[in-house]
Structure formats: structure tokens, C-alpha cells
Amino acid sequence: VLSVDFFFPDNLLGISWVDSSWIPILNNGSVLDYFSERSNPFYDRTCNNEVVKMQRMTLDHLNQMVGVEYILLHAQEPILFIIRKQQRQSPTQVVPLADYYIIAGVIYQAPDLGSVINSRVLTAVHGIQSAFEEAMSYCRYHPSKGYWWHFKDQEEREKTKPKAKKKEEPSSIFQRQRVDALLLDLRQKFPPRFVQQKPGEKPIPVDQIKKESEPAPEAVKQEEKETVKNTQSAGAKGPPEKRMRLQ
């Protein structure tokens, strides 16, 4: 943000002037002489006051002249004096140009309304611009998430805050049935070649497990003979005797 002095190179609002040797003798009669010191940057040496001073006339002659002049506008001895710079156009018509105030011997230029507004606007714009720059430094964007704010204090809070376990939402019946159907379809298309029956054991080929699970033909015949014998023995025995019921 540019300062006011950039737009107004001759701006004197940021400086002050003082001559400590004059401070003890400042009063209503000497304050204009104090202001007209050659080292004072606020004093215009082409003014009518300088002409009156060189011709050794009184300040009353300023009313009869035309041009820039300085007058004592207000005085509150010994601490405060206000001097006005004005453009005199006639004995009864003047245009104020600037005001200067002297506090404890130090001379300052009073800011005009335009300078005050300009300074306040530039200060406000600088503050708003700084706020936007700081806000943009915390802005983050990701195509999948969009925009969000990322603050440094938030990272510290997340580190100190105990992490809560997220509860998993239970799956619906449709989801379970759909997953089971997909798994069954994949199992039929791509049957497993190796099976691990117990954890820690080496995987065994599926073909070998099928051969071991099929019984030998001799064992099947032996089982059939045993079943036939059992049925015959059961048929040879008579029916069980009936016991008399006691009345």
C-alpha cells in the first residue's frame, strides 16, 4: 500500500519543527516571529508577512494587501497557538489554505479533511488486503474434497485430542447378498488350486484332497456286507414278548 507522501510529494504532515531557544518567550506577540524563522519548513517566504516585516510595517497593513499571509487564529498561552495560512483576495474576503498548531513550542501542520479520509481509506485497504492474504494462506483445495480451511491451531488440537474410534456402519441385507453372489461367481470362474486346511500348514493342492476324500472300492464292499448281515440278524429274531399289564 502506497503512503500519502507518494501522491503528495510536498506533504508536510509527517514532520515537525521546534527551536528550543524561543520556547521560554513564546506569547501572542512573538509567536508569528517564531513561526517566520528561516529554518521553519512550514513558512512561505514569499508571503505578505515577509513584505511587512522587511518594510517595518505593522500587521494591520496585511488587510490592505493581496496574496498569501499568516495570522494568529487562536492562542492559549503558553502551551497552544494556532496559526492559519490564507489567501487574501480583498480586505473582507480570504480563502483558508492550511492551519498549523504549536504545542509546547513544537510546530505541526494540521491535516485537512481530504488527507484524513485518504489516510483512513489507505489504512483500511491495507488491513483488508492483509486479512485476505492471511485467509488465502489457510485455504486448501482438492478435486475430490473441494475447498476447506486448514489452520495451524487445528493441527495442535488434533494431536492433543484423543482419537475416537469410528464405528463401522452395519451392512444391509442387499449388500450382503450381493457380495455373496459376487464371491460365488468368482469362485466358480476361478476355482482355487491350493487349500490351507489349518493355519501354519503348507497349502495342499485341491486334486490331492479330492483323492483322499474318495473311499476305496474294497472298503465300500466291506461296508455293504456288514449292513446286509445286520439286517439279516435283525429279521431272524422274533418280535419282542408282550408283558402283562397289571390292573
Q: What is the pTM of this model?
A: 0.49
Is the bond preceding residue 91 a cis peptide, omega within 30 degrees?
Answer: no
Q: Are strands 80-90 and 194-195 parallel, antiparallel or unpaired?
A: unpaired
pLDDT at 170 over 50: yes
Decide if 144 is inside a domain. Answer: yes
Residues spanned by the domain of 130: 115-149
Give the angle 175-178-181 at the CA atoms, nearest 5°: 150
Decide if 74 is inside a domain. Answer: yes
Cα separation, 126 vs 132, in Å, equals: 10
Whether 64 and 34 share a structural domain:
yes
Q: List the CATH number of the domain containing 57.
A: 3.10.450.580
Decide if 85 is inside a domain. Answer: yes
pLDDT at 210 over 80: no
Decide if 199 is inside a domain. Answer: no
Q: To the nearest whole number, what is the mean pLDDT of the chain?
A: 80
Task: Write the pLDDT tens digit of every residue in 150-169.
Answer: 877 766 666 666 666 667 77
Cα separation, 241 vs 247, in Å, equals: 19
Q: Which residues contact 205 (CB under 8 A, 6 or more apart)?
A: 193, 194, 195
Q: Which of 110, 138, 165 represents a domain boundary (last residue)?
A: 110
The DSSP output letter for 93 is: E
Q: Which of 51, 79, 110 represents a domain boundary (last residue)?
A: 110
Decide if 232 is inside a domain. Answer: no
Q: For CA atoms 24, 104, 102, 21, give the dihedral sign.
A: positive
Decide if 27 is inside a domain. Answer: yes
How many structural domains does the chain have? 2
- More confident position, 225 or 179: 179
